[in-house]
Structure 1
Amino acid sequence: MTLQNALLCLALNIYHESRGEPLEGQIAVAMVTMNRASWETPNVCKVVYQEKQFSWTHQVQSPAPKEPNAWANARRVARTVIEKQHVDVTRGATHFHARTVRPQWRNSLKKTTAIGRHVFYAQK
């Protein structure tokens, strides 16, 4: 697994999960991905494509980005997060969901923050 592959997987996750969010929300989605990957770039794609962890990986027919500006931004965010240029705005979160849903798993975790349209959780 190369750094380029990790950047691509992370950018795709940012794009599909949070492209309509403010910058802080996009960084937060990237942080969750990296926290799950234990900040090891060889783990990023495994985390992103782990079955039913991120909705877009089993709902989107083609992962190819269709919005050039949002895609460029997602790639920029991915690079700055992998390069550790941001503090973890999620405070160690490994999970998140949209505010519009209430998944059962949230009860087994502790809420760390809410940013934009997402709520973030870490292990208790």
Structure 2
Amino acid sequence: MSAALHLAPPRAAGVLELTLWGEAGHRPVRAIEGVAAVVMNRRRLALAPGGPRHLGQGVAEICRAPFQFACWHPQSPRRAAMQAPELAQDPAFAICRRIAARALAGALPDATRGATHYHASDALPRWAIGQVPTAEAGGLVFYRLLG
């Protein structure tokens, strides 16, 4: 039997904490909260009947779905930093942990108004052309493109 069969699935809280830090840990709290809202909105939609299953169903699956959150891409410099032992001492990571806990407890208000996507405000990806943002916070622009 392979040792991989005995490994527990990634903790949703741990994966969400890392995702928040990797995507927005260098940004203001409102941006981190916005990224958390995007993850939770995707989860809510994926669990609905006929929802977008390609995003995954659990928080960890949604965060680590291919081509969804750049910090999980193998070439991302943030991914390498997410694996560094000193991350646990980063004050920004402590903020991400608190926001992740609130999101998972259902205690995080959604200031993005149901957003399922976002990008940095200093860029305009092709998928965002012609789309109407639902919110802007901390250098991120949010959109509701699903549901």
Q: Could you say which TM-score interval applies, normalised by the shorter chain?
A: 0.7 to 0.9
Partner of 2:83: 64
Rg larger in structure: 2
Residue of structure 2 in register with 1:7 after alignment? 13
Deviations 1:27-79 (A, max 9, x none): 11100011111176x61111111111111111123522535211111111100
Contact 2:99 2:108 in 1 (8 A): no
Which structure shows the higher strand fraction?
Answer: 1
Aligned to 2:25: 19
In structure 2, C-alpha distance between the alignment counterparts of 1:68 and 1:21, rounded to whole Å: 13
Count of paired positions: 122
Q: 1:38 aligns with which of 33, 44, 59?
A: 44
Could you list the runs of 5+ residues in structure 1 that have no partner in the other structure?
A: none
**How far apart are 1:82 and its partner, in Å?**
1.2
The 5 Å alignment of 1:91-102 reads: 91-102=113-124
CA deviation after TM superposition for structure 1 residue 109, in Å: 4.1
Over aligned residues, Cα RMSD in angstroms?
Answer: 2.2
Q: Stretches of 4+ moved more than 4 A in 1?
A: none
Shift of 1:106: 1.1
- The normalised TM-score by structure 1 is 0.86
| Paired position in structure 2 for 1:82 | 104
